[in-house]
Structure 1
Amino acid sequence: MTNSIGEIKDCDFLFVLGSNTTETHPIIAIEMKKAVRRGATLVVADPRKTEMAELASYYIPLKPGANIPLLNAMCNVIIEEGLYDKEFVANRTEGFEELKEAVANFTPENYAGIIGIPAETIREIARGFARAKNAAIFYTMGITQHTTGTNNVLAIANLAMLTGQIGKPSSGVNPLRGQNNVQGACDMGGLPNVFPGYQPVTDPAVVEKFSKAWGVQQSNKVGLTVGEMLDAGHRGDLKGLYILGENPMLSDPDINHVKEALEHLEFLVVQDLFLTETAMLADVVLPGASFAEKDGTFTNTERRVQRVRKAIDPIPGKADWEVIAEILTRMGYPHHYSSASEIFDEIASVTPQYAGISYERLERGSLQWPCPTKEHPGTRYLHEGKFSRGLGKFTGVDFKPPAELPDAEYPFVLNTGRRLYHYHTGTMTRRAKGLNTIYSEEFLEINPADARKLGIQEGDMVKVSSRRGEILLKADVTDRVPPGMVFTSFHFSEAAVNFLTNTAKDPVCKIPELKVAAVKVEKVS
């Protein structure tokens, strides 16, 4: 997030795209509701009518994959009517003419049908966003899990810069992270193209810096994403994998493909709390430690580095970092840390954004990066005065349909997401008696009009099939989903929706298109 959670309540305009905020980020949703109670305008764009959509001043029932038409149409209106922040554009950005040309054809009249609301309503929303004192954009996987995910995010950045709604309080571009330490994992180099602190592996000076710090020559080659690893395993190009706290046998698209890829490996190690569906395929299973057994830090969605203190010693006898360090030592690269604090000191020494953070400071309270010096108070919001690259760059992006569209054989669009009561692949929440009592099985949401055509009633068992697989689950007949679309979550192994989803990837960031797959639905006896 460019901005902070505490600023949300003071927003005048909240633009929420592809985010079921009340179920997936309930604490942030509370802050959004505070803003709405203050009189803020809330716009929600989502194919599914979520609880957040019910609260919205404007609800946009966007067709899956149609994010760029909406964002470009808003930019079109703002430029055409002269509502853009001319001073901000002139002094803090470049590429305005490219953007202007790219959105010229994206009039509300041309794209109202795919956007799902009248052209004049699109104009009202665009005007409101541009004229707001403080407007903020919030998005999650409904934006990124597409073959156009990178361009979707670039289009969001265009809108924020065009209106000057960035680099100030209660504004900005705010991706809501899906797990408690996703931000921290990315910060630590958990991406194939960067070292910790987003320092590129292709930069010779950066490679030399980390080679010296770690005492081993580092590669300057960009690595593989998770999806690319599985593809390489399937081809036989990747021989081994070490999976820590991840369950791709439920969370990744086309589970049959995932299974074949993992079975093609020569050696698979899985470290986790429980014997997950992925761990069942492993050659070696190592015990993991839960949050309550961890000593260290988590960095949350607003870049806030927080101390985590263990309630009990790790039940397996070792912390996760101790297991990894011991493996490294036995492989010939000695690692002898005495504590998690010592590891953090190393992190701060090589990661500019963390350079001023220490356990000593965190004992007094959390800090938001960038925090470059020991005297720095941390950064509440990013890009004040200038962008990290200097000038913000507008990028013209065009609309491209999803990789797989409905046809006569597979007439429905399948959209996937999460439920309030369960988390990710259910490794922990499905083992919680209370949560399972509240939500014990999964359903397929289907529109009443579609259900009538197929002779499906509430609670009927249905078979959902795609070109990749099929699952069985009960029907939930509801107008939360529009005609032609069905929805379910990926929490339940008994109805593992990722047997159906598509492995088609964004060409830049390589994220798969989990939000759009063509399926057919049949009633079964």
Structure 2
Amino acid sequence: MSALPHTPSVAFELDGQPVTAHPGETILKAAQRHGVEIPHLCYTDGLRPDGNCRACVVEIAGERTLAPSCCRAPTEGMKVQAASPRARKSQQMVVEMLLSDMPDVGYQWNDNEPDAPELIAVSACASSATGELNSKNAPAVGQHGELSAWADRLGVSVRPTLKALRREQPAPDLSHPAMAVNLDACIQCKRCVRACREEQVNDVIGYALRGAESKIVFDLDDPMAESTCVACGECVQACPTGALSPKTHIGSQKVDRKVESVCPFCGVGCLITYNVRDEKIISVDGRDGPANHGRLCVKGRFGFDYAHHPDRLTVPLIRKPGVPKEVRPYGADWRDTFREATWDEALDLAAGRLKTLRDTHGRKALAGFGSAKGSNEEAYLFQKLVRTGFGSNNVDHCTRLCHASSVAALLEGVGSGAVSNPVNDVEHAELIFVIGSNPTANHPVAATWMKNAAKRGAKIVLADPRITDIGRHAWRTLQFKADTDVAMLNALIHTVIDEGLVDEAFIKDRANNFEALKANVMGCSPDAMAPVCGIPAETLREVARAFATAKSSMILWGMGVSQHVHGTDNARCLIALCAVTGQIGKPGSGLHPLRGQNNVQGASDAGLIPMMFPNYQRVDNAGAHAWFEEFWGTKLDEAPGYTVVEIMHKALAPDSDPHKVRGMYIMGENPAMSDPDLNHARHALASLQHLVVQDIFLTETAWLADVVLPASAWPEKTGTASNTDRMVQMGRRALNPPGDARPDLWLIQQIAQRMGLGWNYEGEESGVAAVYDEMRQAMHASIEGITWDRLERDSSVTYPCLTPDDPGQPIVFTDKFPTPTGRLQLVPASVIPAAEKPDADFPLVLITGRQLEHWHTGSMTRRSTVLDAIEPMATASLHGDELARLGVAPGSLVGIRSRRGRVQVRVRRDDGTPRGTVFMPFAYVEAAANLLTNAALDPFGKIPEFKYCAVAVERLEVAAS
């Protein structure tokens, strides 16, 4: 990082003026803070200072040589001149020498032929020009980025004699879909090397050769597209000259405006800046937000153009009479199924039929699925609509398919459904236990904090049936057999208790039910569990000892833990492991379920779940029920509603069932792709008497709708989202919705008004600030101190935050738990098998999940040019031994079938996938993995078992060798 080792504040003189340097501050950073410009090229905020370009040299009284200000700390009484004749001459010479070797042109896709690989000359190699300097997050400026900008500031022009000495220009590397490599513009500042190796810790970019022949290389001097580059673009953001630049055909355009927002993909919650020109987002930069500090992944940086895709819905649609309800293939003509409608017609029909079904068949006849891709305000208003307008608690969203079992265990055990510590608190951890998660693919920026912690000396333990990329940084890897999580975790807890490693004070003062837990695990010794889980007993003991004896150990987990019929038990074991070792309530420790969607935490907090009002107040709790009846001014259903999969079952219930679901309103969810056993789910959706779908694309679910309402994408709305770290963050509208599409918040209110609710939220952006303020009152116990004005000013505030001057509490449970007793509740977990085991007909286990380039059901990412170019095809990953057994090579076409469905897909060799197992991402409609999955539910969290079902794989063709 930019700071030097901690030192006291020092007073020194800069250009004749007295100044003060903060502890650990360099001369350059102190000068920037005091408004004094010093040229610099190899330094940028957030990266370790290197001092190799010498553009930032200053003159220090009493010293013979000039000093690089980026890596020199001031001392008390030091006299520094940043613009003395001697310093200025040296600065100008460095800039002139570098500028003299710059190319005359850069390279870019032809704007008139965006799909053709045709090069044209342009006047700038790098991204948009704004005139900003001295910021890691500022786009490069001038013909050669920051170099040209500094030349202008210093009055430097290149002498003809130097131009004549220009070296031969190397050919550009344009092999990668996202980025261009123009080493003729490289000044060897090594910012890209540091960004790749020290910030993102991807270890792709390095240095080769020596002297005048030295150059930047990818891996072993491979073309960028053939290297192990993950396209995070951190090198592009770091590059000061455009030697590394975006390759999209709009990447070099100047911007009309910059809009600060938050990334719409995963739950990390990276703060971003949209660069907008001609009402289009042309690029995205990472901002210095608390979760990302300027870092982004390939989705956050290059996945923005889905908002401009020609598939966007722009007018309301109504199903034509008599057209069967079926999911049509991608590219099918919607005009065969739907007709265009006016907004009044579409809204009247959408709400009118829902109202008729409610009035005719009762409140239980309706249900709603909200979205974790929208804002907190939309989630709050949607669940309020279902509860007060539909009249039941039949409201849910994709948290049911994500971390519902984790939340169930956390609420039961610690009294809160959110994380105890933020992800980047791993910098204070001595041991990091990552289980059931592939963070480099699913939460790439979060993974950078883990990888940096490992470089610092922390021990990472990866526990997963699949060995994923984070395993490269692991101290120990526990590749346990799928479905044996509880056996393995109980063995760790057994070791802690058996070897006297329990934190007795924590158990005595802060936990209940220890004796029951102890009795439960006594039969789960490492020796007994090793054959069950496949991990040697001594390795289990070693990991348990390390976790218990570390000063601070932190657990992070993903859906590999939660998406099982024993998902709640898995999470109970993780809570117990933290509790018996006292590893909770302090820095570098605790429990962190890595949330999936960008706002799945916030949507759950806002009450978009069937058994909880906002802030996790149970609907069947008399006090909470009475409070919300008074707050909303209406009678409310006292019974918990049905969950996602249960609603699908109720849609197919006989007419005699008084709880049969006959109509649904689905906003921004795609259950026709995301639910388990898709044939069943699609049949259920098609059987509804009335289905209203509100979305930005004609998704698989929208094909089954009676009315389709065109909505707003994330860059087209203002609202808040809450990330996995409990940070409430502000998203700001950068664009208007296309055509006649409308904001989701407006649409919810229109449906509510037509169902008889007298809502009136006044103000800009469909009254979003007024909705937020109402939600804040409903969630006063956690976000009372986070006002709309504060978010507009600060962009991000962590909850709990109870007063306006409360900075927020990133680490919770420091002295008590929000349970009725104030103590943690230990809950023993027994080994429960998966609902469906392999047999002779279906001998393999299917594990489903996500991949780096595509998110969830792919409706956004597969419409992103760069993301789909990198991963255009559905694949299934198998171990090399399984491919040999099947007699197929990588790239071959195979059929995969389960008891519920069948798909065809190309195979990929991945020896991190265990033998006897198949891994499939579920983003591809042409090979939808959820046609295969099992809808069996965890009895507590009601989450389906996406991570385990029995399948068979058969060879269809052999790829050419």
Instruction: Please give the range of the TM-score, normalised by the shorter of the 2 chains.
Output: over 0.9
2-structure distance, mates of 1:461, 1:314: 40
Letter in 2 for 1:288: A
- The partner residue of 2:570 within 133, 147, 152 is 152
Indicate the residue corresponding to 1:438 in structure 2.
870
Equivalent pair of 2:712/2:741 in contact (CA under 8 Å)? no
Any unmatched runs of 5+ in structure 2? 1-418, 655-659
- The partner residue of 2:717 within 273, 294, 308 is 294
**Range with bigger deviation, 108-117 or 499-508:** 108-117
Equivalent pair of 1:60/1:115 in contact (CA under 8 Å)? no
- Runs of 4 or more consecutive aligned structure 1 residues displaced over 4 Å after TM superposition: none
State the secondary structure of the residue aligned to 1:69: helix
Equivalent pair of 2:423/2:592 in contact (CA under 8 Å)? no
Residues 29-73 of structure 1 show CA distances to partners (whole Å, capped at 9, x for unaligned) of 000011100100100111111101232111111111111111110
- The partner residue of 1:57 within 467, 472, 475 is 475
Query: Is residue 2:591 matched to residue 1:170?
Result: no
Letter in 1 for 2:786: I
Letter in 2 for 1:54: R
2-structure distance, mates of 1:42, 1:355: 37
Kindly name which structure, 1 or 2, has the bigger radius of gyration based on alpha carbons.
2
Deviation at 1:449, TM superposition (A): 1.6
Query: Is residue 2:937 matched to residue 1:513?
Result: no
Indicate the residue corresponding to 1:26 in structure 2.
444
Indicate the residue corresponding to 1:226 in structure 2.
644
Equivalent pair of 1:444/1:488 in contact (CA under 8 Å)? yes
Indicate the residue corresponding to 1:268 in structure 2.
691
Deviation at 1:317, TM superposition (A): 5.0
Letter in 1 for 2:856: H
Residues 323-343 of structure 1 show CA distances to partners (whole Å, capped at 9, x for unaligned) of 101110111001111221111
- The partner residue of 2:599 within 145, 168, 181 is 181
**Range with bigger deviation, 312-321 or 221-230:** 312-321
Indicate the residue corresponding to 2:816 in structure 1.
386
1-structure distance, mates of 2:755, 2:791: 33
Letter in 2 for 1:380: P
Deviation at 1:287, TM superposition (A): 1.1
2-structure distance, mates of 1:81, 1:396: 19
Query: Is residue 2:758 matched to residue 1:334?
Result: yes
Query: Is residue 2:711 matched to residue 1:279?
Result: no
Deviation at 1:363, TM superposition (A): 2.4
Q: How does 1:412-427 map to 2 (within 5 A)?
A: 412-427=844-859
Indicate the residue corresponding to 2:669 in structure 1.
246
Letter in 2 for 1:427: S
Letter in 2 for 1:24: N
Indicate the residue corresponding to 1:500 in structure 2.
932
- Higher relative contact order, chain-length normalized (CA < 8 Å, sep 6+): 1
Query: Is residue 2:727 matched to residue 1:304?
Result: yes
1-structure distance, mates of 2:836, 2:493: 27
Provide closer, same or farther for how the CA distance between residues 6 and 483 of structure 1 changes in structure 2, counting only shifts above 3 A. closer
Provide closer, same or farther for how the CA distance between residues 81 and 471 of structure 1 changes in structure 2, counting only shifts above 3 A. same
Provide closer, same or farther for how the CA distance between residues 317 and 513 of structure 1 changes in structure 2, counting only shifts above 3 A. closer
Query: Is residue 2:498 matched to residue 1:80?
Result: yes
Residues 323-379 of structure 1 show CA distances to partners (whole Å, capped at 9, x for unaligned) of 101110111001111221111110111212111211111123221111122332211
Indicate the residue corresponding to 2:184 in structure 1.
none
Residues 221-263 of structure 1 show CA distances to partners (whole Å, capped at 9, x for unaligned) of 1011111111111225100111111111111111100011011
- The partner residue of 2:680 within 253, 257, 261 is 257
Equivalent pair of 1:292/1:311 in contact (CA under 8 Å)? yes
| Count of paired positions | 525
When the two chains are superposed, the root-mean-square deviation of aligned CA atoms in Å is: 1.0
Letter in 1 for 2:461: V
**Range with bigger deviation, 355-364 or 308-317:** 308-317
Any unmatched runs of 5+ in structure 1? none
Equivalent pair of 2:517/2:828 in contact (CA under 8 Å)? yes
Provide closer, same or farther for how the CA distance between residues 456 and 55 of structure 1 changes in structure 2, counting only shifts above 3 A. same
Equivalent pair of 1:61/1:116 in contact (CA under 8 Å)? yes
Equivalent pair of 2:620/2:640 in contact (CA under 8 Å)? yes
- The partner residue of 1:48 within 466, 473, 476 is 466
1-structure distance, mates of 2:823, 2:690: 47
The alignment's TM-score, normalised by the length of structure 1, stands at 0.98
1-structure distance, mates of 2:536, 2:685: 48
Equivalent pair of 1:326/1:335 in contact (CA under 8 Å)? no
Indicate the residue corresponding to 1:360 in structure 2.
789
The alignment's TM-score, normalised by the length of structure 2, stands at 0.54
State the secondary structure of the residue aligned to 1:241: strand
Residues 78-124 of structure 1 show CA distances to partners (whole Å, capped at 9, x for unaligned) of 00011011100110001010010010011111111232221111100
2-structure distance, mates of 1:113, 1:248: 38
- The partner residue of 1:371 within 768, 784, 801 is 801
- The partner residue of 1:322 within 746, 770, 774 is 746
Equivalent pair of 2:878/2:919 in contact (CA under 8 Å)? yes
Residues 384-430 of structure 1 show CA distances to partners (whole Å, capped at 9, x for unaligned) of 10111111011111011111110011000001111101111110110
2-structure distance, mates of 1:82, 1:242: 55
**Range with bigger deviation, 477-486 or 315-324:** 315-324
Equivalent pair of 1:461/1:473 in contact (CA under 8 Å)? yes
- The partner residue of 1:477 within 905, 909, 924 is 909
